Every structure is written in structure tokens, then in C-alpha cells.
């Protein structure tokens, strides 16, 4: 019997392919980020062995503890930080991650503006938009997004690649995806990190270039 993660990965791949076809998009226009947070290396290895090369983690410390041996076994694997980042962990994050999806505060931008050039690494940055304007959720309010994106470029010298959103759990995701896509377009940003296990097909319909899928691959956390 093959490990359960492989059935999950195959099913997710199939649904991404179908969603791309329905949206008349190339499969290569969507990057699957396999979200391995909370899962041990033993659960991740079969997914690496199957060829998956982009993974998401939401904590710097957990990723630092878990990933170095896995990265050594599979060079060319990219790690994306999808959870909140404290400014004082920016340096560690930049050393380990190839992309950060949670740029959302001036203090973090200031820290990244310092550590990124010094690191010599290229890290793709996404600004998180709090599309539902939920007080408990991270992210820039939609009405502040244009000014924040401009400040990233002009004040901190950060090249922003795209936007990320996490729709409210109790709402239809489509309007949140549409809003995120609209803000990206008017700011000339081409990448959209949106869609999780429950809604990645919808996100692809609305232009997602990066889908962050955890439980549909690895099972319940």
C-alpha cells in the first residue's frame, strides 16, 4: 500500500488540472504549495519522493528544526513561509525560505529591507491582504493596500511579487479572491497566493498562481 499522502497529492493534482482546464489556463501557471506544517519528516518524505518540490510552513522555528535534512536529501526544493513573521525572525526566515507570503506591517518591511540585501538571497514577497477585515487576522486592510505596496517599493526597496489572502472561514471565498485579484491588477502585481484545501479550485478560477494545500494532501492536523 502506498502512503496516504500520495493519494492526497494525486487527487489534488487531478483537481488542479481540471480547474486549470475549466479556466482555460495552463497547468504550469499554478504552483502547488504542499503545506506540511505540524507534519513530521516521515510524512513529508513520500511527497518529496513523488516529485513535489514546493512546500509551505507557517512557523520559522518548526521549519528550521524539520527541513535542513530534507532539503539536503532533495536539492531544488523550495520552502514558502505562509504564516505570520515577527520582525526579529526576519533574518532567519530569509536564510531558509524562498518566499514569504505574510508581509503585512511596516516594522516587518523595515526588517526585511535590511536583512534581504545583506543575505544575498532572492526571496519572493507577497503582501497579505485582510480581505474580510477581520480584527483577529493578519494582513493589510484592502483600502490601505495600494499605499502599503507603494511604500514597500519606495521606502524599503522591497520588490513585491504578489498578494496573498485567507478568506473568512464562514464566508464564500470567491468575492475575497476577486478583491485580491483586483488589488493586484491595479498595482501591477502578477502573483496571487490564494486557495486552500477547501477552495483551491475556486481560487484558480479567480487567477490564483499559488495554491496552499495542506490537509487535502497530508490529512487532518
Per-residue x/- track, 138-167, ligand PLP (CB under 6 A): ----------------------------x-
Task: Report the C-alpha gap between 115 and 41 in whole angstroms.
Answer: 29
- The stretch near ligand PLP (CB under 6 A) out of 2-10, 88-96, 148-156, 211-219 is 211-219
Task: Report the C-alpha gap between 140 and 154 in whole angstroms.
Answer: 17
Q: Judge whether 201 and 213 are in contact, CB under 8 Å.
A: no
State the nearest-atom distance from the C-beta of 76 to ligand PLP, in Å. Answer: 23
By CB under 6 A, is residue 16 in contact with ligand PLP?
no
By CB under 6 A, is residue 80 in contact with ligand PLP?
no
- The alpha carbon of 191 is separated from its chain's Cα centroid by a whole number of angstroms, namely 10
Task: Report the C-alpha gap between 70 and 169 in whole angstroms.
Answer: 32
By CB under 6 A, is residue 99 in contact with ligand PLP?
no
State which of residues 37, 74, 89, 114 lies at the interface with ligand PLP (CB under 6 A): 37
State which of residues 31, 52, 58, 202 lies at the interface with ligand PLP (CB under 6 A): 58
* Of 54, 25, 1, 26, the residue nearest 214 (C-alpha): 54
Task: Report the C-alpha gap between 174 and 180 in whole angstroms.
Answer: 10
Q: Could you list the residues that contact ligand PLP (CB under 6 A)?
A: 35, 37, 58, 82-83, 166, 196-197, 212-216
Amino acid at each position: 500500500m502506498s502512503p496516504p499522502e500520495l493519494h492526497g497529492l494525486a487527487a489534488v493534482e487531478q483537481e488542479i488540472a481540471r480547474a486549470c482546464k475549466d479556466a482555460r489556463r495552463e497547468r504550469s501557471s499554478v504552483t502547488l504549495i504542499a503545506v506540511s506544517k505540524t507534519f513530521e519528516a516521515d510524512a513529508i518524505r513520500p511527497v518529496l519522493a513523488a516529485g513535489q518540490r514546493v512546500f509551505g510552513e507557517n512557523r520559522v522555528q518548526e521549519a528550521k528544526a524539520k527541513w535542513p535534512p530534507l532539503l539536503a536529501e532533495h536539492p531544488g526544493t523550495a520552502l514558502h513561509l505562509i504564516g505570520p513573521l515577527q520582525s526579529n525572525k526576519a533574518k532567519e526566515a530569509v536564510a531558509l525560505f524562498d518566499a514569504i507570503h505574510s508581509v503585512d506591517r511596516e516594522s516587518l518591511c523595515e526588517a526585511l529591507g535590511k536583512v534581504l540585501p545583506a543575505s544575498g538571497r532572492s526571496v519572493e514577497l507577497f503582501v497579505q491582504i485582510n480581505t474580510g477585515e477581520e480584527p483577529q487576522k493578519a494582513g493589510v486592510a484592502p483600502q490601505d493596500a495600494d499605499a502599503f505596496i507603494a511604500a514597500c517599493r519606495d521606502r524599503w526597496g522591497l520588490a513585491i511579487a504578489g498578494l496573498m489572502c485567507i478568506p473568512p472561514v464562514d464566508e464564500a471565498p470567491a468575492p475575497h479572491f476577486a478583491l485580491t485579484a483586483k488589488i493586484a491588477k491595479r498595482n501591477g502585481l502578477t502573483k496571487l497566493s490564494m486557495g486552500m484545501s477547501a477552495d483551491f479550485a475556486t481560487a484558480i478560477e479567480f487567477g490564483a498562481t499559488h495554491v496552499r494545500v495542506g490537509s487535502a494532501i497530508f490529512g487532518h492536523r
